[in-house]
Amino acid sequence: MIVKNPVLQFEEIPAIIRNSTRLLEELEGWILLLSESPSALMHYYPNLEGAYYRLKAGLGSSPDVLMRWIIVPACAPEKVLVAFIDGLANSQQVDQDIIAPLLQTTAPPASWGEAVITPGHVHAQTHWDNILHSLAAGNTLVFAPQFDKVWVVDTVTYRQRSIERPQTEISVRGPEDAFNEVILTQMNQLRQRIPDPHLHFQQVTLGTRQHTDVVVAYMEGVANPSLIATCLDRVRGINISGRANATLIAGLIRDHPRSIFPTIRSTERVDLACWNLLAGKVAILVDGDPFVLVAPASLADFYRTSMDYSDAWYDTSFVRIIRLVAWIFGVYFPAIYIALTQVNPNLVPATLLIITLGDHAALPFSPFIEALLMILVVEILREAALRLPKAMSTTIGTVGAIVVGTAVVKAGFVSPQIIVVITLTALSFFSAPVYELTGSWRIINFVMLLISAVLGILGVMVATFFLVGVLMSMTSFGAPYLAPTAPLRLRDWKDYLIRIPWSSIHTHLTISRPLSATWNDTKAVQEPAHLKNSQDRRR
């Protein structure tokens, strides 16, 4: 084999040498450690040379891992080993707050965490797995001779983008700050909005290989303890190897993981997350994901926006009615059109039927095929607009829709009525404030379209009853998904289809079963006496 391909074997020699060197270093480290203590396989034993070779053979073989020997007066003539990852650890902090004090101290290593090393968070570790994970996370390790523990110093530097405006939940009025990807910044943003000692955070680390910090936030004394315990149990029960994001976690902890309807609300707005925390709900923060999960979430919660609580009550109520009408158009308009033109034409007035059938007379496809064709075109345009650069997506989406719509009508493939129906349907879907809900309604719209082509209006009614039954059986962390409609809770209708004035809203919604729902004890403002007397005189 060597004779047949000598070049290949020659190219493999450097890799073999590197692997052999690493293996010899690791073996040398293990020999040094195990010669001192048989338990050094799992627990750290104070042998700096063995620890150095173990790091050097594993994580320390990477060029970004820096290991430095320093002479400390308290340990002279023996040296102290300092290890950290360049880029993840703050190099300036390592030099000024760790190495500089150590070069001058005469204190014993056992007191370095309290008297010498100055960064905020310092703790000792003895287990090798925890030591290596701490180093990989960006902490700095300090190995001292004759000291059976390793000092782990928090020197992690967070590379993050600045706090920007929300991209998917845009509002005309109200705060304009959104979460970013760093979980510490997310907690600080919540603390800034809710400077209350009852705001608590519970941290859980997920992932066996790629670790992800997840924080469960709640208001102590407001959130229901059973809701907090359920949320923490579900998050702690996640067992994955890779890095988690908010969508993955929501899919693993929600009540109905196979349902097409989301039962956990995600938001990038800080004000909306704070409003839900004060209402007794739980927020789940995920490191590396700018979207925060809020639970429980009913179907009505996906249609509430932060702008609903920044505008006047009459404007908010009008917009919510528009959303309801848009939902009806998006789900039922194509299905009813197909049912009335293809299956139940006897239900259409004669004048309208003549116009509709006249346009379809010379076309090669039935109304159902035309609707499917245009839905496919709209979905292709939508997907293309999402993938194109922002500067081009608006132009391509608008021009593409106009050109394609005009071309297919002039070519005689579809009727003008289908263009109107599908255009209104596509626009209606995007009236949903939460993007992930638009996918659910698009699937329902397609199912309604298929059923209406077979059974007509009867099929639409049967599908509607089935959909309502499914939604009534769903829950979100034990809360009814269709609340406050099913079960009927009249007290929550003040912030449901419409929003009444603030002076009449004194409690939060009861979907999360909060311990304390009252938030507005303001008494009605009394009319000034001189104005009241003047009105009485006019009467």
- Hey, what are 27's tokens? 């073996």
Kindly give, in sequence order, each residue whose CB lies less than 8 Å from that of residue 274, ignoring residues fewer than 6 positions away: 190, 193, 194
pLDDT class for 327, splitting at 50, 70, 90?
A: very high
pLDDT class for 6, splitting at 50, 70, 90?
A: very low
pLDDT, the chain, mean: 82
Q: E-assigned strands of 92-169?
A: 122-125, 140-143, 150-153
Sign for the pseudo-dihedral over CA of 290, 296, 302, 307? negative
pLDDT for position 32: 53
Q: If you average pLDDT over residues 12-27, what whole number do you get?
A: 62
pLDDT for position 477: 92
Cα dihedral 333, 339, 344, 347 in deg (nearest 10) = 0
Judge whether residue 537 has pLDDT over 80: no
Q: If you average pLDDT over residues 414-435, what whole number do you get?
A: 84
DSSP states along 231-255: HHHHHHT---SS---HHHHHHHHSS
Question: Using one digit for the tens of pLDDT, what is the confidence trace for 475-501?
Answer: 999 899 998 988 888 888 888 888 888
Q: If you average pLDDT over residues 65-81, what whole number do you get?
A: 89
Q: What's the distance, Cα to Cα, between the start and end of the chain in Å?
A: 113
pLDDT for position 229: 94
Judge whether residue 395 has pLDDT over 80: no
- Hey, what are 235's tokens? 């998050």
pLDDT class for 34, splitting at 50, 70, 90?
A: low
pLDDT for position 236: 92
pLDDT class for 8, splitting at 50, 70, 90?
A: very low
Least confidently predicted of 286-295, 329-338, 377-386, 519-528: 519-528
The answer to whether residues 466 and 451 touch, using CB atoms and an 8 Å cutoff, is no
pLDDT class for 1, splitting at 50, 70, 90?
A: very low
Torsion angles phi and psi, residue 36, rounded to 5: -85, -45
Judge whether residue 440 has pLDDT over 60: yes
- Hey, what are 156's tokens? 């992690």
**Region class of 477: left (phi > 0), else alpha (psi between -120 and 50), else beta:** left
For strand 282-286 and strand 265-267, is the pairing parallel, antiparallel, or unpaired? Answer: unpaired
In the numeric block, the tokens 């005469």 are attached to: 106
Q: If you average pLDDT over residues 250-274, what whole number do you get?
A: 92
The answer to whether residues 72 and 102 touch, using CB atoms and an 8 Å cutoff, is yes
Q: Who wins on pLDDT, 381 or 398?
A: 381
Residues linked to residue 321 through DSSP beta bridges, in sequence order = none
Q: CA distances (Å), 127 to each of 41, 124, 130, 418, in order?
A: 9, 10, 5, 68
Question: Using one digit for the tens of pLDDT, what is the confidence trace for 278-323?
Answer: 999 999 999 988 999 999 999 999 998 888 888 888 999 999 999 9
pLDDT class for 522, splitting at 50, 70, 90?
A: confident
pLDDT for position 452: 92
pLDDT class for 137, splitting at 50, 70, 90?
A: confident
pLDDT class for 130, splitting at 50, 70, 90?
A: confident
* 67 burial via Cβ count (<10 Å: 0-12, 13-18, 19+): middle
C-alpha to C-alpha distance for 17 and 501, rounded to whole angstroms: 77
Q: Who wins on pLDDT, 515 or 391?
A: 515
* Displacement of CA 160 from its chain's centroid (Å): 17
Least confidently predicted of 3-12, 52-61, 241-250: 3-12
Least confidently predicted of 355-364, 367-376, 415-424, 505-514: 355-364
- Hey, what are 351's tokens? 């004048």
pLDDT class for 60, splitting at 50, 70, 90?
A: low
Percentage of the chain modeled with pLDDT above 90:
29
pLDDT class for 19, splitting at 50, 70, 90?
A: low
State the amino acid at position 101 in one-letter form: P
- Hey, what are 343's tokens? 């299956």
C-alpha to C-alpha distance for 106 and 499, rounded to whole angstroms: 68
Question: Using one digit for the tens of pLDDT, what is the confidence trace for 192-224?
Answer: 899 888 999 999 988 887 788 899 999 998 999
**Closest by alpha carbon to 171, among 45, 272, 54?**
272
State the amino acid at position 211 in one-letter form: H
Kindly give, in sequence order, each residue whose CB lies less than 8 Å from that of residue 375, ignoring residues fewer than 6 positions away: 334, 422, 446, 449
Least confidently predicted of 126-130, 263-267, 373-377, 529-533: 529-533
